[in-house]
């Protein structure tokens, strides 16, 4: 099949959903070019060098007039913004309009990290995010994007939804951005058309039911469940919403819309209540195809907290004692609330308000990253990590050097460099005042400590 041709079964499905007249407009919308969009990291604020227009439903979200070379922009590598599809940023409007309480959040299928970094920004200093990825090969890019975002309020895990069973009623918010048939990507990725089939839709729907059947029980009383896909059909959207309302006690949440946005509200009527979904069609919005629903767990449903224990036992992770932690916190320049852990000989810092939740998670899940990795110590001297450089934590005591654009790109490529008038030892390099990473200035050479797996290859 021609990659630009739509499958016949898909056309029949969409004509049934939209009607013939609107389907014609929908098909025209699929032929339009995709529009690039980004979301700013307000805690690493910069003046963007390219023209942009605000996305009306997304705090910090912008449409770009054309797609620049993000790879050649050092501020992108520094975590100043994330390239994210505009429709999925509707989650920002959901959080803000409902004033959803901050606390312990879970993104159950998180890679590559767009929605996780959005949740991380919303939580800020007032919550903890668990960003989980089921597929091992995708965990690394999720971890990299969380590190570059830099907020230090996230735990990256690699687990199947089944592994979360001991955490029933633990989370204030669970986001399930479910693996789907990808119909919403037909405009952006024509190859997705060739891979589509009605059988694949049915397979995705069955998989989604398995996932949400586990996710629904993880939400605590008074908490929220967000379910989303990048597809159009009802089997993966409204039918999953109906399944959730039949399996669990949930209350509907209706999100306010501006009619000018072009977002379509859909309804699922249960025996007792009307539940709401929100659809993004390419002939109505500038973003790609998307569906999302929001449900609230009744206050009386099961909620699980954490118990207070003095001891923390883990096969590879050790909590640092109070006195040593206080010294480390002063050295790091934290706000006095940090808790420190040792993984072999590497130090990690976690926000103190959520250390017990972290320790509970380590007993249940496969942790791939958490808080901020600081590095190692030789005596009183730090061997700082790239993760510390990119975090929002202070880097007190280290000399800093501001790079030109070409110098920054050479650093990100791990090219050999030399810098005059720099002290010996560790130096923090930055571009537009955003930290990029470390060099170690030796007597006769400069060692570049940017991770080789992150380097620019062109």
Q: Which CATH number fits domain 8-296: 3.40.50.150, 1.10.8.80, 3.60.20.10, 3.40.50.300?
A: 3.40.50.150
How confident is the model over 93-115, as pLDDT tens digits? 999 999 999 999 999 999 999 99
Residue 88 has what pLDDT?
97
The H or E element that residue 202 is part of is: helix 198-215
How confident is the model over 410-450, as pLDDT tens digits? 999 999 999 888 899 999 999 999 999 999 999 889 999 99
Residue 3 has what pLDDT?
55
Average pLDDT, the chain: 94
Q: Supply 98's token pair.
A: 């409902």
How confident is the model over 145-159, as pLDDT tens digits? 999 999 999 999 999
Residue 190 has what pLDDT?
77
Question: pLDDT class for 309, splitting at 50, 70, 90?
Answer: confident
Query: Quick one: fold of 398-458?
Result: Nuclear Transport Factor 2; Chain: A, (3.10.450)
Q: Spell out the domain ranges in the chain.
A: 8-296, 398-458
- b/e 166-197 (16+ beta carbons within 10 angstroms → b): ebbbbbbbbbbbbbbbbbbbbbbeeebbeebe
Question: pLDDT class for 55, splitting at 50, 70, 90?
Answer: very high
121: exposed, middle or buried (C-beta count within 10 Å: 0-12, 13-18, 19+)?
A: buried
Geometric angle at alpha carbon 72, from 403 and 57, rounded to 5°: 110
Look up residue 32 and give its DSSP letter: S
Residue 2 has what pLDDT?
53
How confident is the model over 324-360, as pLDDT tens digits? 999 999 999 988 889 999 999 999 999 989 999 999 9
Q: Supply 446's token pair.
A: 């400069």
Is the pLDDT score of 387 beyond 50?
A: yes
Mean local confidence (pLDDT), 110-128: 97
How confident is the model over 251-271, as pLDDT tens digits? 999 999 999 999 999 999 988
Residue 54 has what pLDDT?
96
Q: Which of 177, 251, 249 is nearest to 212 (CA)?
A: 177
> Can you tell me the distance from the alpha carbon of 148 to that of 401, in angstroms, rounded to the nearest whole number?
19
Q: Could you count the other beta carbons within 10 Å of the beta carbon of residue 358?
A: 23
Residue 223 has what pLDDT?
98
Is the pLDDT score of 140 beyond 50?
A: yes
> Can you tell me the distance from the alpha carbon of 70 to that of 34, in angstroms, rounded to the nearest whole number?
16
Of the listed ranges 2-6, 67-71, 223-227, 342-346, the one predicted with least confidence: 2-6
How confident is the model over 188-224, as pLDDT tens digits? 887 888 889 999 999 999 999 999 999 999 999 999 9
Is the pLDDT score of 1 beyond 50?
A: no
Residue 188 has what pLDDT?
80
* % of the chain at pLDDT higher than 70: 99
Q: Supply 115's token pair.
A: 């929605």
Is the pLDDT score of 26 beyond 90?
A: yes
């Amino acid at each position: 099949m021609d990659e630009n041709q739509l499958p016949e079964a898909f056309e029949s499905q969409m004509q049934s959903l939209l009607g013939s007249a609107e389907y014609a407009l929908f098909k025209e919308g699929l032929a339009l070019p995709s529009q690039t969009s980004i979301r700013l990291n307000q805690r690493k604020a910069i003046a963007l060098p390219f023209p942009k227009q605000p996305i009306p439903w997304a705090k910090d979200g912008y449409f770009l007039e054309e797609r620049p070379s993000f790879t050649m922009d050092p501020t992108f590598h520094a975590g100043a913004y994330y390239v994210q599809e505009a429709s999925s940023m509707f989650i920002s409007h959901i959080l803000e309009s409902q004033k959803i309480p901050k606390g312990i959040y879970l993104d159950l299928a998180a890679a590559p990290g767009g929605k996780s970094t959005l949740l991380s920004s919303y939580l800020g200093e007032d919550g903890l995010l668990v960003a989980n990825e089921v597929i091992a090969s995708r965990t690394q890019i999720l971890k990299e994007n969380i590190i570059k975002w830099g907020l230090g309020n996230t735990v990256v895990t690699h687990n199947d939804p089944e592994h979360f069973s001991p955490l029933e009623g633990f989370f204030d918010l669970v986001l399930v951005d479910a693996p789907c048939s990808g119909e919403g990507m037909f405009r952006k990725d024509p190859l997705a058309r060739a891979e589509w089939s009605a059988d694949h839709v049915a397979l995705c729907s069955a998989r989604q039911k398995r996932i949400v059947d586990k996710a629904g029980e993880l939400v605590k009383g008074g908490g929220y469940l967000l379910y989303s896909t990048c597809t159009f059909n009802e089997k993966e959207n409204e039918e999953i919403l109906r399944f959730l309302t039949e399996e669990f006690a949930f209350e509907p949440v209706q999100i306010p819309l501006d009619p000018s946005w072009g977002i379509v509200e859909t309804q699922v009527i249960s025996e007792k209540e009307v539940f709401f979904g929100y659809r993004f069609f390419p002939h109505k919005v500038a973003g790609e195809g998307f569906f999302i629903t929001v449900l609230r767990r009744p206050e009386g449903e099961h909620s699980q907290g954490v118990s207070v224990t003095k001891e923390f036992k883990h096969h590879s992770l050790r909590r640092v004692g109070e006195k040593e932690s206080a010294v480390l916190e002063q050295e790091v320049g934290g706000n006095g609330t940090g808790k420190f852990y040792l993984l072999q000989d590497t130090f990690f810092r976690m926000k103190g308000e959520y250390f017990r939740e972290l320790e509970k998670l380590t007993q249940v899940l496969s942790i791939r990253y958490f808080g901020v990795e600081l590095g190692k110590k030789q005596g009183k001297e730090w061997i700082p990590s790239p993760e510390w450089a990119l975090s929002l934590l202070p880097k007190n005591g280290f000399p800093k050097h501001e790079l030109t654009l070409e110098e920054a790109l050479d650093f990100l490529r791990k090219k050999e460099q030399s810098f005059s008038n720099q002290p010996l030892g560790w130096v923090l390099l930055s571009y537009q005042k955003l930290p990029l990473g470390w060099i170690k200035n030796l007597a006769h050479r400069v060692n570049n400590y940017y991770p080789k797996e992150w380097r620019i290859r062109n």
